[in-house]
Amino acid sequence: MKIVVLKFGGTSVGTTKKIKKVSEIISSYIRKKYKVIVVSSAMSGVTNDLVNKSKEISENFSSNEYDVLVSSGEQVSCALIAGRLKHKGIKSRSWLAWQIPIMTEGQNKNARIIKINKRKILHYLESGGIPIITGFQGIDFDQRITTIGRGGSDASAIMLAKFFNAEKCIIYTDVEGIYTTDPNKLRKAKKIKVISYEEMLEMASLGAKVMQPVSIQDARLNRIDIEVRSSYVNRSGTLITKKKNIKNNKIITGITSTQNDAKVSLIGVKDKPGVAASIFKPLSKNLINVDMVVQNISANGKETDLTFTIKNEDLNRTKKIIKSNIAINFRKMIFDKNVSKISIIGVGMVTTPGVTYRMFQTLADKKINIQVISTSEIKISVLINKKDIKKALSALHKEFNLDK
C-alpha cells in the first residue's frame, strides 16, 4: 500500500476558502494513486483563543481540562476538511485521536506518542477512504485526552508516517520551505533545498518557528524524511533528511535569531563545589529553561560571576527564585532584556577550520559586541544587543555565502 501523510498547519486551514484549497491538494494525491492520511492543526488563532479563555476562568486551570479544551480546535478543522471532501464525492471522515486510538504517555500539555492502533485506519484506507486525523493530541492509559505540545501536529504526522510506514510525510504550511534565515527579517534569505535532521533540530531549537523541535527529533530517531512546502503555491519545498543524503558545499546552512531572551548575571557568588547546581536546580524544578551559561572565576578563587540566559517571560519568576534561594550567596544580580541570540548552523563547520574566527571578525567589523558565547559541534551562538540583530544577520548571511 503506497501511503502518504499530509499535515496541514493552522494557517493552511485558517478559513473555509483555504480548506477548499487544502481539499484540492488532497485530491491531487488521490489522482497519483496514493492512500492518503491527513493530519490537521486547528484553524489559525483558535488554540490561542481557547488558551486565553482558560486563563479567564482560572489562573490555575486544570491541566486535564486544558487538554480537553485546546484539543477541540482540531476537531473543527478535521470535520470541515472531511465535509469538503465528501462534497467533492470523495469518501472521507474525521477521526479524533481517541477513536483510533493514539496512545500517549507523560504529562498533560507535553505528552509523547508511544503507540498508534493501526487496524481501524488500515481498514478505512483499504476501503478507499481518506482519514482526516486530529493532530496535536492522543489519549493516555486513564482514557483522558492529552496534548503533545504547541506545534505538536507535526509530531502527530511524523509518528503516523512511522507506524504506517508511509512513503512520504509532507508538512504543508504558509511558507515554501526552510530558509537560510527568517525572510521576514532579511529579504535576501534563500530557500534551502535539503537540510539534515541535525541542522534542522538546531535551527528549530534556536528560533526557527517552521517546525517543533520535538517533531524533528522524532523524525531523526525514526528516519522519516519530511518535506516542508507551501499550501498556497505549487512549488517544491525543503527536504529534511539524514546527512549522508545531502551533497552540499556550503559550510553554514542557516542562521537563526531570537527576540525574547533575557540575560541574568550573578556577581560575586561565593564559589564552592556544587554552587552552579544550587542555582539551576530550583529553576529546573519550576520549568525555567536555562540556555547560554558563562562563568568567570576571580583571581583568588573565592568568588565567581555567573551569567545565563532565559526567556523574557521567565525573568520575574527567576528573580524571585534566586532571591529566595538560601543555598547561594552573591553580591549583586543584574539583568538585561535588550539582548538577542544569533546562531550560525551547519554540518560543514565540523571539518572546516576558521568558522569561529570568521563569525567573530564579521561582527567586530560591524562594531557589534559579543556578550556570551555558546557552541556545539554544528552551531555557534552569541548573545548581542537586540538593536544590532538586523545588522548581524545581514553581515553573517553575506560572509557565509548564503545570499547566493
Q: What is the pLDDT of residues 190-243, one digit of tens each?
A: 999 999 999 998 888 776 677 778 888 888 988 899 999 999 998 999 999 988
Which residues lie across from 334 on neighbouring strands? 265
- pLDDT computed for residue 376 by the predictor: 87
Q: Compute the distance between CA of residue 246 and CA of residue 359 in angstroms, rounded to an integer.
A: 24
Nearest to 379 by CA among 187, 214, 251, 194: 251
Q: How far apart are CA 252 and CA 239, in angstroms?
A: 17
Per-residue pLDDT reduced to its tens digit, 365-390: 999 999 999 988 899 999 999 999 99
Residue 63 has pLDDT above 80, yes or no: yes
Q: CB neighbours (10 Å) of residue 278?
A: 15
What type of residue sits at position 272?
K
Please spell the DSSP secondary structure of 217-258, one letter per residue.
HHHHHHT--EEEEESSS----EEEE-GGG-----S--EEEE-
Tell me how far CA of residue 209 lies from CA of 201, 273, 352, 399, in angstroms: 11, 38, 28, 24
For 176-185, 212-221, 320-329, which range has the lowest pLDDT when averaged over its residues?
212-221
Q: Residue 158 is placed in which grid cell? A: 511524523
- Please report the pLDDT score of residue 86 as a whole number: 98
CA separation for the pair 129, 37 (Å, rounded): 9
The full set of domain ranges for the chain reads 3-174
Q: Mean pLDDT lowest for which of 89-98, 265-274, 299-308?
A: 299-308
Say whether the peptide bond before residue 101 is cis (omega within 30 degrees of 0). yes
Separation between Cα atoms, residue 128 and residue 36, nearest integer Å: 9
Residue 156 scores a pLDDT above 70: yes
Interval 131-144 mean pLDDT: 96
User: Among residues of the chain, what percentage have pLDDT more than 90?
Assistant: 74
pLDDT at residue 310 greater than cutoff 90: yes
Report the DSSP pairing between strands 130-134 and 254-257.
unpaired
**pLDDT score of 207:** 66
Greatest CA separation for the chain: 79
The residues, any chain, with a CB within 8 Å of residue 307's CB and separated by 6 or more, are 263, 264, 265, 266, 293, 294, 295, 371, 372
Q: What is the pLDDT at residue 296?
A: 83
Confidence at 299, pLDDT banded by 50, 70, 90: low
Pairing of strands 168-173, 226-230: parallel
The per-residue pLDDT for range 32-61, each reduced to its tens digit, is: 999 999 999 999 999 999 999 999 999 899
Q: What is the pLDDT of residue 287?
A: 85
- pLDDT at residue 247, as a whole number: 76
Q: What CATH code would you report for 3-174?
A: 3.40.1160.10
CA–CA distance, 359 with 337 (Å, rounded to integer): 23
- What separation in angstroms does the CA of 285 have from each of 128, 277, 288, 307? 49, 12, 8, 19
Is residue 13 predicted with pLDDT exceeding 90? yes
Which residues have a Cβ under 8 Å from the Cβ of 315 and sit 6 or more positions away? 262, 264, 335, 337
